[in-house]
Structure 1
């Protein structure tokens, strides 16, 4: 017995050491954070584009939720929104367009560390301006935009990852990497804007957002200075460890937030009488606001058995989901069921952006092997589409040769100005 205790303690210490090493040396879940980034930025981008003709009524200075009402509310709750910095129409249009641009660039994964902050500013600014313009998905987007700031969400499936691969393939390991010119310029511009906001007294509301903005700005500056000194060194190692810890903590918070959303929603439903008797799903199907396809809603509500099964099934899935994380197979099955349920809600109840936000939150639990296969398949499909477009457009070398009566490479070799061709 005395020999078993030291052996067990050594095994436990080795497991703890391996866990600490994995958390500090690696940014976990690169594909999961990438798909969360893509999902939420696409959701917000599509929402802004769809509501572009109605942006004045939703968030404009002359909307139903007037400028004076917004000022009174923000003075009371201290929420952050740059839309309250000025009541001019030009400022509103500029903020709206920048929110669209930030969503698009974050979706593509360009300068994700900076764009994740700008994406958060756009989400908070518009949502806090008119807090009643939402369908539930805006709350999830509101929280996830804060969490994404602390993640390394551009490790894969991003222009940042593509630029890093090209840099590794182009630069000799013994040489210094090519200097980054865009990053410092963008960093300097954002610093000037932050200083201007403080000087004008516009960042006196919620202290959390200014702290995040200044913290991210300083962290990027320190990271850039350390990177200029070379790839190695203790300072670079320390920054990587801190970045990995912050990323992994944020990833854990995103997963915990998704579980909390489902757990609270399920337990609150249990307390409702309509959910207890199995008729809760029947009522939204007969509301005009939630019936974009009346025939489909009538078809689903025509069967009492179906309504009963969907009502009880929704509660059971939401309550059980946090507990299924301990079993991979059950979790994956339940995850597929919940994503399918949200897709049905998007079509039947006419809540596409709520469903997209919840599917994006669910995606953090998708298996890495599935996401990699999905990414490889998407890459192959895109490559085939591009090849087909080139063939149909007649822009390839063979098509140009047939049009000009010969191979362009042979004609270029015969030209006396071959050295000046691009």
Structure 2
């Protein structure tokens, strides 16, 4: 029996797939969360803090009943809330630029879940998606491109110091370990404390193997395991997006208003869905446009999972879905739900488009001036052809 198919499957699974899509997903998710937290800064204490209508004692009861996790349950004072809220914004910015993503994605997940689970009664569909996606993000290798981590790794390889001690990483790992011991102590409890301790231990093992055994087989095994975990997480994200669209589309089909094509008409006449009354009135006045947009929404959501087998059809429908979300953000005034769905749709973007976008943005970025070093010597310098000189300066 030939082993070639199995070898090809092993190479496919062990390679990190969709690194550019994962990087765009990381940047978009962190940017949306940071923008949301900054926008709600004046109302943060009412939504998630000590001034919330859901008091601290009631929140503890709800957290216990739902079995959720939040560090805000440790203390109900304003100081602790302000620390958690501020650190979540800082973690979101660090994840967005790709700084120490192995640690900051975990801190980002803990912060977002703590705020969202403090008062689940004020959330919507966008909050549910954010809570799910920040967990998936931890298990992806989302900083291999378009990140400060990737830039630092390239510089280390160029200097030949890839396996040297990383003082910043050691300090960050030690601080997070001390925080885990302070929060949960030992022996390790089950649930989320166990998950956080395991993530902390895996990061430590990864550093030791990378430092002490850079060319050993153990290093290759860990790298393959990380790649397979990344691929599984990206697949789960894609499946989650398909489930969101399919369930939303099939539930819409069962509604009478969606069947007759008037659902959008009624949504445009709701006061809390009309940030631009004149724009909503203009769209609602065109019955044909409302009918077409209503049926297009249902058809696109139901058909999206079935178009993944055809690249061209998928790309066309993906553009339609992104345009639809942007239109909903403007027309109905729910920007963060729409933006988080656009970020999730980015997982399906073709790599060629992302590479072309990177090239175009690279051309727009200012280039640093080249430094030319003049060497003085007593003897006359040999004549170098202009073509060779140009090539030597650009290499």
TM-score by length of 1: 0.85
> Does the CA-based 8 Å contact 1:262-1:321 persist in structure 2?
yes
Distance in 2, matches of 1:253 and 1:131, equals 24
For residues 96-144 of structure 1, give each alpha carbon's deviation from its aligned partner in whole angstroms, at most 9, with x where no partner exists: 0000000000000001111110110011000000112223111111100
Distance in 2, matches of 1:64 and 1:33, equals 38
Shift of 1:151: 0.5
For residues 349-396 of structure 1, give each alpha carbon's deviation from its aligned partner in whole angstroms, at most 9, with x where no partner exists: 111110110000000000001011112222322327xx8xxxxxxxx9
2:183 corresponds to which of 189, 197, 205: 197
Is residue 15 of structure 1 aligned with residue 5 of structure 2? yes
Distance in 2, matches of 1:177 and 1:42, equals 32
Residue of structure 2 equivalent to 1:361: 344
Shift of 1:66: 1.5
Residue of structure 2 equivalent to 1:245: 228
Shift of 1:273: 0.7
For residues 283-324 of structure 1, give each alpha carbon's deviation from its aligned partner in whole angstroms, at most 9, with x where no partner exists: 111111111000000111111111111111100000000010
- Aligned residue for 1:350, secondary structure, equals coil
Residue of structure 2 equivalent to 1:316: 299
1:261 corresponds to which of 244, 249, 270: 244
Is residue 49 of structure 1 aligned with residue 35 of structure 2? no
Shift of 1:209: 2.5
Which shifted more, 89-98 or 133-142? 133-142
Distance in 2, matches of 1:49 and 1:380, equals 31
- Aligned residue for 2:140, secondary structure, equals coil
Q: Which ranges in structure 1 are unaligned for 5 or more consecutive residues?
A: 1-8, 388-395, 398-408, 410-422
Distance in 2, matches of 1:308 and 1:275, equals 9
For residues 53-98 of structure 1, give each alpha carbon's deviation from its aligned partner in whole angstroms, at most 9, with x where no partner exists: 1101111112112212211101111210001111111100000000
Is residue 103 of structure 1 aligned with residue 86 of structure 2? no
Is residue 29 of structure 1 aligned with residue 29 of structure 2? no
Residue of structure 1 equivalent to 2:264: 281
- After TM superposition, the structure 1 = structure 2 runs for residues 154-169 of structure 1, keeping only pairs within 5 Å, are 154-169=143-158
- Aligned residue for 2:120, secondary structure, equals coil
Shift of 1:176: 6.7
Residue of structure 2 equivalent to 1:419: none
Cα distance change, pair 146–176 in 1 and its aligned pair in 2 (3 A): closer
Residue of structure 1 equivalent to 2:120: 131
- Aligned residue for 1:358, secondary structure, equals helix
TM-score by length of 2: 0.90
Shift of 1:335: 0.2
Residue of structure 2 equivalent to 1:214: 197
Is residue 179 of structure 1 aligned with residue 165 of structure 2? yes
Is residue 350 of structure 1 aligned with residue 333 of structure 2? yes
Residue of structure 2 equivalent to 1:405: none
Q: How many residues align?
A: 371
Residue of structure 2 equivalent to 1:76: 65
- Aligned residue for 1:283, secondary structure, equals helix
> Does the CA-based 8 Å contact 2:27-2:96 persist in structure 1?
yes
Q: Which ranges in structure 2 are unaligned for 5 or more consecutive residues?
A: 375-395
> Does the CA-based 8 Å contact 1:80-1:125 persist in structure 2?
yes
- After TM superposition, the structure 1 = structure 2 runs for residues 320-335 of structure 1, keeping only pairs within 5 Å, are 320-335=303-318
Cα distance change, pair 329–176 in 1 and its aligned pair in 2 (3 A): closer
> Does the CA-based 8 Å contact 2:105-2:137 persist in structure 1?
yes
For residues 203-249 of structure 1, give each alpha carbon's deviation from its aligned partner in whole angstroms, at most 9, with x where no partner exists: 96xx4422321121111000011011142101101101111111111
- Aligned residue for 2:292, secondary structure, equals helix
Distance in 1, matches of 2:162 and 2:73, equals 45
- After TM superposition, the structure 1 = structure 2 runs for residues 139-158 of structure 1, keeping only pairs within 5 Å, are 139-158=128-147
Cα distance change, pair 264–176 in 1 and its aligned pair in 2 (3 A): closer
Distance in 2, matches of 1:285 and 1:91, equals 41
Residue of structure 1 equivalent to 2:393: none
Shift of 1:200: 9.7
